[in-house]
Structure 1
Amino acid sequence: MEIHPKHKRYFRQALTFGLIWFLFGIIYCLVERGLMGRETIYPSTGNQYDFKNSLLFVGIGSFVLGGIQGWIEAVWFKKLFQTKPLWFKLLVKGSYYLVFLIVFLSTIAIAINSYYLNLSPFDPMVLKTYFIFIGRFPFWSVIIYAAAILTIALFLSEVNNYIGVGMFRNFFLGKYHRPIKEIRIFMFLDMKSSTKIAESLGHEQYFDLLKLYYSHMSDAILETYGEIYQYVGDEIVVSWPEGIGLKSNNCMRCFERISETISTNEGLFLSRFGLVPEFKAGYHIGEVTTGEIGNIKKEIIYTGDILNTAARIQAECNTYNAKVLVSGNLLERLSPVSHREFTEVGTPLLRGKQEAIRLFKWEPDLHPATGS
């Protein structure tokens, strides 16, 4: 049974947080080892010290704590604080995690004392050593250190959300530090009658519409492994590496899932804005050069004729009264089972192009979204 993409994303985030905590936990143990030297007793508490056991307990404890934080962030806090400013997120979430951290470290401290003394965790001697420990600075120094790790993990998570899922990893690993050529699929998705809608709503309410509109696309894009390349006003550009986009027709399923989600939330759009946004999309596949640009502000960009062609294909949707137009280049690569849903509309010479391209109209078989 294949794991749902949403849950894969949760596990990846939990694992990332776990590894960050684990790394800093090991660093803490190494610094502590250097400070303790050959000592086997903590000077401030009188508790026993053993480097190997410290590595074991702190390493495992840090990884588990980080994993829990990552899971809470992905499953709960991300949506709960979606519209809040960064400072508010760090303050409120930091306070929550600080309380959680104190409880967690208290549990670890009692477990270690219970192990060393070979007594029950609820034995008066174990609890006595624990209360001595939390009443002294060493315990709070650990809290301060852990709070710093927590803040770093939260900040990196927010940066990842701001620059795009996967982009931070690419920047960190330097994947596109040197430009590379690759085959990618692009979907240019544009809201219909956006100018008329903006005039009727006013720019502030129109902006709120765009925020809600794009937020409902997020799960669909992530579930189909898409990467948001750009927001251009009322247009969003989504991209897939060749293999990922073609697998199970992920690139086409993305439009289906977006349509289903918007349809499911028709009532919300109607109550807030008096309309339900409609949209059209153009698809194309081809070679691009991908690389980092910029000094003051770095960005990963794609260059190649495929982007202009995909944009022109999307612009032809009105001409053919189509929700979706797909290039013949892409259709040839999709799973054969989906070909029955496509109708060839012609081989037009797109604006600014020297060669005509076969275009196919797609009418997806939509089903109501069940929620996620």
Structure 2
Amino acid sequence: MNRELKKYLIILIKSLLFWTIAMCLHVFIRYLGVYDEPGIHVNFEYELSLIDNLKYGFLSGMLIGFFLSLVEYVFEKYLAYRIPMWLYFIFETIAYFIVLAFVLIIAFFFFNKENNTNYFTKEYLRLDNKVYWAYLIYALYISIGLSFIRISTEFLGGNTFWKILQGKYQTPKEETRIFMFLDLKSSTTIAEKLGHFKHSKLIKDCFFDLNEILLNFKGEIYQYVGDEAVITWIYTLGIQNNNCTELFFSFRDRLKNRSPYYLKNYGIIPEFKAGIHGGKIITVEVGTIKKEIAYHGDTINTAARIQSKCSEYQQQVIISKELFEALNKDNSYKTIDLGSILLRGKEVQLNLLGLKKYHNKK
């Protein structure tokens, strides 16, 4: 399946489920208390059964879910990385308002035909109709709330946001994780050639491409440090389908496929090097003014040291032999035994492998 189509289908399914539940809940609440609300006439067709009213909630939820998923997908694809966040939020809110206003009228129109009611009348379309505005403001309020949540998850990372919300790591916990330190090759030379401003734009573009494929390999961004990205996996997810190594080669191929863009704008095709290692780590929530999930332990330090050996051994990827042995062997990898190496700050030597991947294999 096309990657863009798959991405939209995920957005669509989530949107349909959420809005169907949200609108049915709103209909249920209003059905129970509508006669007690000032300004609502008793003859406003609420002699219909709860099931009939829930049918409207289902219909409006499905329509809202469908159209707002299109808005979200289009905005994310064409505007999210091109305009400031505050302007993006304003445009998105305006788009939500317009879509919701028309979708709710369409939903009432079909509901009117299905149930032979007079919901869709000139009287209903009056600007002082409180029922219409109640539905519209409710849906707009929910959509704005979702936008804030999405912005929060983008700043913190989706998994990090929910982990902090759950308080999962308020107390330090031991986990087994895999870390990849991904660094731009010849960064100093490139910065001198391009200048710092253009160099920063290059790094931004590279990390944009990285994020486009990251979730396909179950990875999480831990940190961006200059021109380096630190990526982590829960151990079982990292070795599943070789996610921790396949991410690097997929990223490499994506940069090559976009070489015309990079050559046109920067005169180079960026290349990255990576060090990968896995093991025990302590995970804890830190900070008050700015919260984040932090990882402490020898594993993350070792992964950083491994990445520092890439230039010395002229390798794109170096992985600890221990971790490589846990991967699924599908004959698409070629390894170069680098021997037992004493990494800086370590007392025990570690077996390292240079890693290559055959282009004709998946």
TM-score by length of 2: 0.89
Q: Does 1:253 align with 2:246?
A: yes
Aligned position for 1:132: 123
Matching of residues 278-357 of structure 1 within 5 Å: 278-338=271-331, 340-357=333-350
CA shift for structure 1 position 14 = 3.8
Matching of residues 3-152 of structure 1 within 5 Å: 10-22=8-20, 24-37=22-35, 43=41, 46-50=44-48, 51-62=50-61, 64-66=63-65, 68-70=67-69, 72-73=71-72, 75-83=73-81, 84-117=83-116, 126=118, 129-135=120-126, 136-138=128-130, 139-152=132-145
Matched positions, count:
357
Q: Matches of 1:227 and 1:49 in 2, distance apart?
A: 52
Letter in 1 for 2:107: I
For the residue of structure 2 that corresponds to 1:335, the secondary structure is coil
Contact 2:332 2:361 (C-alpha < 8 Å) held by counterparts: no
Letter in 2 for 1:107: I
For the residue of structure 2 that corresponds to 1:309, the secondary structure is helix
For the residue of structure 2 that corresponds to 1:217, the secondary structure is helix
Q: Matches of 1:305 and 1:201 in 2, distance apart?
A: 36
Aligned position for 2:193: 200
Letter in 1 for 2:170: H
Q: Matches of 2:333 and 2:45 in 1, distance apart?
A: 73
> Which of 169, 181, 187 is the matching residue for 2:174?
181
Contact 2:71 2:95 (C-alpha < 8 Å) held by counterparts: no
> Which of 136, 155, 160 is the matching residue for 1:167?
160
Letter in 1 for 2:112: N
For the residue of structure 2 that corresponds to 1:187, the secondary structure is strand
Aligned position for 1:264: 257
Q: Matches of 2:162 and 2:20 in 1, distance apart?
A: 18
Identity fraction in percent: 30
Distance 1:339 1:79, change over 3 A: closer
CA shift for structure 1 position 283 = 0.5
Structure 1, unmatched stretches of 5+, are 119-125
- Which stretch of the first structure deviates more once superposed, 149-158 or 253-262? 149-158
CA shift for structure 1 position 29 = 2.8
Q: Matches of 1:307 and 1:134 in 2, distance apart?
A: 61
Contact 1:191 1:277 (C-alpha < 8 Å) held by counterparts: yes
> Which of 188, 212, 216 is the matching residue for 1:223?
216
Q: String of CA shifts for 1:276-298, please: whole Å, max 9, x gaps.
A: 21211001010111121111111
Q: Deviation above 6 Å: which 4+ runs of structure 1?
A: 3-8
Q: Matches of 1:273 and 1:339 in 2, distance apart?
A: 32
CA shift for structure 1 position 319 = 1.2
Aligned position for 1:123: none
TM-score by length of 1: 0.87
Q: Matches of 1:109 and 1:101 in 2, distance apart?
A: 12
Q: Matches of 2:4 and 2:244 in 1, distance apart?
A: 16
CA shift for structure 1 position 174 = 3.1
Aligned position for 1:121: none
CA shift for structure 1 position 200 = 2.3
Q: Matches of 2:305 and 2:324 in 1, distance apart?
A: 17
Q: String of CA shifts for 1:195-224, please: whole Å, max 9, x gaps.
A: 222222222111111111111111221211
Contact 1:5 1:224 (C-alpha < 8 Å) held by counterparts: no
Q: Matches of 2:218 and 2:2 in 1, distance apart?
A: 11
For the residue of structure 2 that corresponds to 1:199, the secondary structure is helix
- Which stretch of the first structure deviates more once superposed, 11-20 or 138-147? 11-20
CA shift for structure 1 position 307 = 0.5
For the residue of structure 1 that corresponds to 2:319, the secondary structure is strand
Distance 1:99 1:340, change over 3 A: closer
Q: String of CA shifts for 1:143-191, please: whole Å, max 9, x gaps.
A: 2222111111122122222221322222333333333222111111101
CA shift for structure 1 position 233 = 0.4
Distance 1:279 1:141, change over 3 A: same
Letter in 2 for 1:137: N
Q: Matches of 2:3 and 2:171 in 1, distance apart?
A: 30
- Which stretch of the first structure deviates more once superposed, 253-262 or 216-225? 216-225
Q: Matches of 2:209 and 2:339 in 1, distance apart?
A: 33
Contact 2:332 2:357 (C-alpha < 8 Å) held by counterparts: no
Contact 1:164 1:228 (C-alpha < 8 Å) held by counterparts: yes
Structure 2, unmatched stretches of 5+, are none
Distance 1:197 1:182, change over 3 A: same
Q: String of CA shifts for 1:71-96, please: whole Å, max 9, x gaps.
A: 642x4321211322222112212222
Q: Does 1:234 align with 2:233?
A: no
Q: String of CA shifts for 1:33-55, please: whole Å, max 9, x gaps.
A: 3532489x951874344433223
Q: Matches of 2:63 and 2:239 in 1, distance apart?
A: 36
Aligned position for 2:149: 156
Distance 1:99 1:47, change over 3 A: same
Contact 2:35 2:42 (C-alpha < 8 Å) held by counterparts: no
